[in-house]
Amino acid sequence: MNDKDAACFLALLQAGIAGNKAVPRGKEGDPGDRDKVFHLAEIHAVYPIAAEAFMESAGPAGQVPESMAEIREKARSIVIHQAQKTADFLLFYEYLKKQGLHPLVMKGIICRNLYPQPEQRASVDEDLLINPAQFRRLHKAITDYGLSLADPKQDLETSDEISYKGKTNHLYIEVHKTPFPRNSKAYGDLNRYFDKAFERAEETEASETIYGTKFYTLEPSDHLLYLILHALKHFLYSGFGIRQVCDIILFSERYRDQIDWSRICAELEECRALEFTYAIYRIADKYLLTKNHIREYLSGRDFDAVDEAPLLEDILEGGLYGTVTMSRVHSSNMTLHAVEKGNSSEKKKRDGSTLLYSVFLPLKKMESHYPYLKKAPLLLPVAWAERIISYTREIKKQSSDNKITDTIRLGRERVRLLEKYHII
């Protein structure tokens, strides 16, 4: 990635999230390649934020050069679509409250409300956390409202995440019985930090009503911890985007006096995510915040000793969820296995098993690729053989964004990144 393009992108994002419409001349140095800068904005789902800052810095206020008309229209389209989705969600949530249901809203509209212009921060879905004992009531209410399961075959009893989509509106709702899937060996144990989340949950204060609607949500310390650990979850897969960094730092700034920083740091240290978190805040400190009030809460904890550069590079290259190429997506088999393998002192042995694991997946993961295993699990070796043959064929006809060699290289690099921040 061109450093000038990245610098320009980050300068535009800094201006956008600070509410400064224009990027000061010279702030971004060389303006870089406009197409590449806006490719970054697109894959990180911050296109409207970057577009407004770019247009404001390009000429006199209110005068958009003809060459930027396409950028303006694309940004406007994203904002209008998000506004429609927000309106649909507001009606839907009011309906749930009338049914006596108060699921906790996470991320989504809560994070959008942190931005100077909320609808510029688009959301793919809205996340709700419900007490498992109330799930069936919530499911009935959602389907009565007209939404349907995104996956009609999903097992509602065993699944911790269930998605619904609207037929006549723009709604896409993801319901969580627990903050993280309980069956995940890599991060299922993180749920222990939210055992009392419902007890601590609070309704947003009247002064913080969003679009005239009161939302039940996690209390600030729980919500910040969830945002950080949710980023960690995606990091363990194929990566996470700069927008999640913005969510974390804007939430930290808005609620800094209500957050129990001692508890946050202690729990992040306990789950080996503290250096990872420091790297996020150092990215914010150096590239995204014009005024940083968070340093005082993190000082004295080796904050300045953490090297954020490798994490920033991984973030920018991977896009919103690290899925910019299939090679990154497939490399998650290696990173997840490295985390599940734990902190083995036999590093070389772990590296070898991680590489083998990317081919020889366990039965449960192979079932999604080879359905016949559900009825005949003893055929697992046959499925492994098919997978090896498939890999061999892919090597012969590798596409530019899905090379087996790239997958292995990326997997190894990202495992080293997990080691660098002492996650493993």
* DSSP letter (8 states) at residue 74: H
Residue 29, pLDDT above cutoff 60: no
Q: Which residue has the higher pLDDT, 193 or 410?
A: 193
Region of residue 34 (phi > 0: left; psi between -120 and 50: alpha; otherwise: beta): alpha
Q: What is the pLDDT of residues 49-84, one digit of tens each?
A: 999 888 876 655 555 567 678 888 999 999 999 999
Q: How far apart are CA 209 and CA 230, in angstroms?
A: 25
Residue 310, pLDDT above cutoff 90: yes
In order of 224, 250, 417, the CA distances from 254 in angstroms are: 11, 6, 30
Least-confidence region, from 258-272, 279-293, 379-393: 379-393
Query: What percent of the chain is modeled with pLDDT above 70?
Result: 82
* DSSP line for 333-370: HHHHHHHHH---S-HHHHHHHHHHHTTS--HHHHHTT-
- What does the block give as tokens for 414? 């990202």
In order of 162, 218, 291, 321, 408, the CA distances from 317 in angstroms are: 29, 31, 26, 10, 17
Across 383-403, average pLDDT: 61
Across 177-181, average pLDDT: 95
pLDDT at 54: 86
In order of 85, 128, 156, 250, the CA distances from 122 in angstroms are: 9, 17, 28, 15
pLDDT at 345: 43
Least-confidence region, from 35-39, 173-177, 394-398: 394-398
Q: What is the number of other CB atoms lying within 10 angstroms of the CB of residue 263?
A: 13
The model's confidence at residue 337, banded by pLDDT at 50, 70 and 90, is: confident
Q: Cα–chain-centroid distance for residue 142?
A: 25
The model's confidence at residue 301, banded by pLDDT at 50, 70 and 90, is: low
The winner for highest mean pLDDT among 165-174, 294-303, 349-358 is 165-174
Q: Which residues contact 153 (CB under 8 A, 6 or more apart)?
A: none
Q: Can you list the pairs that 73-82 forms with residues at least 24 positions away whose Cβ atoms lie under 8 Å? A: 74/47, 75/47, 75/48, 75/51, 75/120, 76/48, 78/47, 78/48, 78/120, 78/122, 79/48, 79/117, 79/119, 79/120, 79/122, 81/122, 81/170, 82/112, 82/119, 82/120, 82/121, 82/122, 82/123
**Mean of per-residue pLDDT scores for the chain:** 84
Residue 247, pLDDT above cutoff 90: yes
Q: Are 319 and 43 in contact (CB under 8 A)?
A: yes
pLDDT at 344: 45
The model's confidence at residue 130, banded by pLDDT at 50, 70 and 90, is: very high
Residue 16, pLDDT above cutoff 60: yes
Across 121-143, average pLDDT: 95
- What does the block give as tokens for 235? 């990091």
pLDDT at 323: 81
* DSSP letter (8 states) at residue 34: H
Q: Which residue has the higher pLDDT, 193 or 24?
A: 193
Q: What is the pLDDT of residues 342-387, one digit of tens each?
A: 654 445 454 555 555 555 667 777 776 777 777 777 777 777 777 6
Across 277-291, average pLDDT: 88
pLDDT at 203: 72
Residue 223, pLDDT above cutoff 80: yes
- For helices 274-283 and 242-254, the axis angle rounded to 10 degrees is 90
**Strand ranges (E), 107-228:** 126-129, 147-149, 161-166, 172-176, 202-203, 216-217
Q: Which residue has the higher pLDDT, 407 or 271?
A: 271
Q: Are 368 and 269 in contact (CB under 8 A)?
A: no
Question: Whose CA is closest to 267, among 303, 304, 231, 221?
Answer: 221
Across 12-32, average pLDDT: 67
The model's confidence at residue 234, banded by pLDDT at 50, 70 and 90, is: very high
Region of residue 131 (phi > 0: left; psi between -120 and 50: alpha; otherwise: beta): beta
pLDDT at 326: 78
